[in-house]
Amino acid sequence: MPDLIPTVVFENDDLFVVNKPFGMVVNNADTTKDMYTLQDWIEESGKIPLGEHYTGDKESDFYKRAGIVHRIDKETSGALIIAKNETAFLALQKQFKEKTIHKKYVALCHGHIKPEEGIIDVPVGRLPWNRRKFGVIADGRESRTRYALEQTYIGPNKEVLSLVNCFPETGRTHQIRVHMRYIGFPIFGDPLYAGRKNSRRDRKFLERHFLHAQEISFSNPLDSQEIKVVVPLSPELVSLLETLTKT
């Protein structure tokens, strides 16, 4: 049995929402052949009939992605929606495209964020000189994140840290991580964007970056009623916060 197992936190006839554990990759790819992914778990769970008796279009995105509507980073934990059928999959994709799905992430960032509320509206794209990283570049895609400071702390290295609620209005790869770095407050433990020295120090206290998809709100494809799912912080994130001193 793989160590990384998601938890179902909401379910109805058309979809379910899981709490993805940190360290779990979402989709299968050429680079994940030796990893147990969320897609593997969905296909094994039997929640969606995707086996040899599947009667739908096996060339569809729904089938190829095992109903996974969106992605979150490997080290990010939290809420992720999976559709059980192609109708729900397309309806949820449309909501993402029309930006009617609302998400809240919780991040612990280096420094005392000021102003304490704001909007980061700068384009994000893959860096031509480092294909593993993204950044703010002129020909990047439109990217917009609202944020609001929740609490400041004194961290384990005697520096100020900010617990921040982030509300991404677009869904670019690494968007929140890049945006917080861009305004000078990188996420705690982020090996790509917090700087090598910071991330090495941080990871003595937390073995991942501190970013969690805490809430997601969307319309139920079946009856258009609003669904809001809240996923508590992962235990290792709570444990770290308990060691910090509020300011």
Q: Tell me which residues are annotated as active site.
A: 73
Distance of CA 78 to the CA centre of its chain: 7
HSE of 28 in the Cβ direction (CA atoms, 13 Å)?
14
Alpha helices, H only, the chain = 38-45, 61-64, 86-97, 175-182, 196-202, 235-243
Paired tokens of 223: 């009856």
Are 103 and 213 in contact, with CB atoms under 8 Å apart?
Answer: yes
Integer Cα distance of 86 and 227 in angstroms:
19
Sign of the Cα pseudo-torsion (168, 173, 176, 181, in order) = negative
Sign of the Cα pseudo-torsion (103, 225, 234, 162, in order) = positive
Q: Backbone phi, then psi, for 199, in 5-degree steps?
A: -65, -35
Are 65 and 27 in contact, with CB atoms under 8 Å apart?
Answer: yes
Q: Backbone phi, then psi, for 132, in 5-degree steps?
A: -80, -20
Q: Count CB-CB contacts under 10 A for residue 204.
A: 10
Q: Which helix (H) or strand (E) is 7 found in, with range?
A: strand 7-11
Q: Write down the residue that tokens 């897609």 correspond to.
A: 39
